[in-house]
Amino acid sequence: MSKNFDVNQEKQEQLIRGKRIKAIRENELRLNKTDLAKQIGISSQFLGLVEEGKGNLVYRSIKLLRDVSGHSADYILYGLDDNVLDKTKTYLEEYSEEEIIEALNTLKSLSNLLKAN
């Protein structure tokens, strides 16, 4: 199940990720590059490259940014809603385990049907 690596798509995602990190730094943390860079263990010059979409953070720096910002790694990397898991858990509390399993099986069948078409 190998997917072709799309360099252009990766560059676009890197650019969007950089803008998201910059927005976290400026709008939420209200830090300059030097201060945030120190907190996540990189140079301010490299943080600038990341924010411009010309570099990627390593695991350790992502983890530290997660801790500093309060955002999930999924949000930092992909822009996924931080609260989606909590919202889902709250919603699913209304259903029994059997009902959840049946719903998942239905989704799996639907997914297989859509793939076949």
Q: Kindly state the average pLDDT of the residues 104-111.
A: 94
pLDDT digits (tens, 9 = 90+) for 39-82: 999 999 999 999 999 999 999 999 999 999 999 999 999 998 87
The sign one gets for the Cα dihedral 89, 21, 58, 52 is positive
Burial, 15: exposed, middle or buried (Cβ in 10 Å; 0-12, 13-18, 19+)?
middle
